[in-house]
Amino acid sequence: MKTTPRTRGRREAGMTLVELLVTAAILGTVMLVASTIMMGSSRMESRTSERATVQGGARQALSLISTELRQAGADPSSPPVGIVGIVSADSLRIRVRADLNGNGTIQTAEPSEDVTYAYNDTTGTITRDPGTGPVVLLANVTAMTLQYFDSANQPITGFPLSTTDAARVHSIGLSFTSEVRQSQPLTLSTRVTLRNM
């Protein structure tokens, strides 16, 4: 086919309006899909990060509570002074003592040797009170339960525990549930065997 100035002009003129509109529509669709994927990925990353933060905080709280409960009644002084390990306890609150430095007196300056843990269902918090006032240890808590067991692994009930029942406690079951926005609740549980009771 012979090229004439007229057909050559059509080929060199570029894209037609229809071709331009089709290209714009395809590009717009690709951009919409890509931005939707990116926004979804960003939301997923944010939720994953939030859940990891809540899990980390909950595990740290569980570790601290377990450590201080395990040490209840520690009395390394010679002769022993007779430290009462569990001062008071019920299903939502426990106060424990330990003479960690072995000087024969209970100190309330950190590291405190007289600590109270409590769950407040109104504020959704677990607090730690070292004797100077409660401080929030963990927020967004929807439930917490403390259970007490004797050396035969039998539950000790009747709250608050009497002095006699508190002295029988061999292990403590602790469970709490933290809420993570737009995700499954996180429940952590442990059973702490007291070393000094």
Question: For the segment 99-116, what is each residue's pLDDT rounded down to a tens digit?
Answer: 988 888 888 888 899 999
Determine the Cα–Cα distance for residues 33 and 172; give it in Å rounded to an integer. Answer: 53
Percent of the chain with pLDDT over 70: 92
Determine contact, residues 57/126, Cβ cutoff 8 Å. no
Determine contact, residues 65/117, Cβ cutoff 8 Å. yes
Which residue, among 74, 111, 90, 79, has the nearest Cα to 197 in the 3D structure? 74
**Residue 164 backbone phi and psi in degrees, to 5:** -65, -45
* pLDDT one-digit tens code per residue, 32-56: 888 888 887 777 777 777 777 778 8
3-class secondary-structure state, position 77: coil
pLDDT at residue 7, rounded to an integer: 55
Its pTM stands at 0.76
Determine the Cα–Cα distance for residues 109 and 160; give it in Å rounded to an integer. Answer: 27
pLDDT band at 6 (very low <50, low <70, confident <90, very high): low
pLDDT band at 12 (very low <50, low <70, confident <90, very high): low
